[in-house]
Amino acid sequence: MTEHLSEQIEKTERPALLEISDLWVQYRAGGEIVQAVNGVSFQLHERQTLALVGETGAGKTTIAKAIMGILPDPPAKVVGGEILLDGDDMLKMKKDRLRKIRGARISMIFQDPMTALSPVYTIGNQIEEAYLEHFNVSRAEARKRTVELLNMVGISEERYGEYPHQFSGGMRQRVVIAIALACNPNILIADEPTTALDVTIQAQVLDLIYRLKEQNGTSMILITHDLGIVAENCDDVAIVYAGEIVEQGTKEHIFNETAHPYTKGLFGALPDMAGEDEKLHPIAGLPPSPSNLPTGCKFHPHCPNACSRCEKEAPPMTEISAGHYVRCFLAQEEI
Ligand code: SF4
């Protein structure tokens, strides 16, 4: 067993910090019901980095917002499930308690730093406020922590009094990271943290997030559609399709023992830099509309292996090897 794999197994054996169990979320507007999250379950352990991977509209951000308790209700509604933080259901917590947890124990880095920051406050002020919200300290102490955080994310403290529009996209995302880490949270949710950034600084920002996460012993849920980012930064992976997890396991399971036809399709859509195959093999067609999901297996209209059973019955999540789960009849038969 490789050192990395045994380290990963050791991480998942630690007690779960966060446990999502059979989560269902809908958006209801104008008589239409959008089934955004359909029975999602996973655990996040101490110091673990779990990637939620899927195409735009698969439900990843809705899962993250449900965990943070920031879904706009209406139109969003959590219609089932539990989100347990150290055994306490966050869906049943009073707003005050949730506010204390948000930012202090669980933080989120949003996709677009420009919309995550207020244009009318200085960046120093915004970091300071995030700290003051959760700690009963003086302004001077909060200022000291802000300077520490600015240094941590590589921004000179001289820029404390500047406004977000005076920063580049990458530097703004560093400010967002400083705010997210201000109170040293146990859990960090990073939602496509580099998608809105120039490609040349994406790696720098990801390195920074990963280094700080390791340094502070933080657990992380990394939301991405980029399998390259997953390969570099994650321990475990959950593949999300049409609001469901269709395959879940360690990074090695997903990359080396790919079992679900959708996951295989994601890899097929990547250029093969080492092999001789110069063609890309994208998944045919578009993902289903969450307001009109297919019956049976939600992937069956695009699945090259679909049979008549797949059109009628929804496959259950099955453990095909230790810690490797797949939602597919075909993978079930091969056990
Ligand atoms: Fe394809 Fe059937 Fe498996 Fe769904 S259950 S992924 S349609 S083979």
Structure tokens that stand for 211 in this block = 């280094």
Distance, CA 62 to ligand 1 centroid (Å)? 25
Distance, CA 87 to ligand 1 centroid (Å)? 34
Band (pLDDT 50/70/90 cuts) for residue 8 is: low
Q: Which atom of ligand 1 is nearest to the CA of 261?
A: 6
Structure tokens that stand for 78 in this block = 């959590």
Tell me the H-state helices in the chain. 3-13, 60-68, 95-101, 113-116, 123-132, 139-152, 169-181, 199-216, 227-233, 251-256, 261-268, 308-312, 329-333
Q: Whose CA is nearest to atom 6 of ligand 1?
A: 328
Count CB atoms within 10 A of the CB of residue 265.
19
Q: Which atom of ligand 1 is nearest to the CA of 307?
A: 2
8-state DSSP, 107: E
Q: Whose CA is nearest to atom 3 of ligand 1?
A: 328
Give the model's pLDDT for residue 332: 84
Give the model's pLDDT for residue 145: 94
- Check pocket membership of 328 for ligand 1, CB cut-off 6 A: yes
Give the model's pLDDT for residue 3: 55
Own/partner pairs for 192-199, CB < 8 Å, 24+ apart?
Answer: 192/111, 192/223, 192/224, 192/225, 193/109, 193/110, 193/111, 193/222, 194/229, 195/111, 196/111, 196/112, 196/113, 196/114, 196/169, 197/169, 197/170, 197/173, 198/169, 198/170
- Check pocket membership of 297 for ligand 1, CB cut-off 6 A: yes
Give the model's pLDDT for residue 177: 93
Distance, CA 301 to ligand 1 centroid (Å)? 9
Mean pLDDT confidence for 118-129 = 96
Give the model's pLDDT for residue 9: 53
Question: Is the pLDDT at 281 greater than 90, yes or no?
Answer: no
Distance, CA 313 to ligand 1 centroid (Å)? 10
Q: What is the pLDDT of residues 61-80, one digit of tens each?
A: 999 999 999 999 889 999 99
Give the model's pLDDT for residue 7: 58
Mean pLDDT confidence for 38-57 = 95
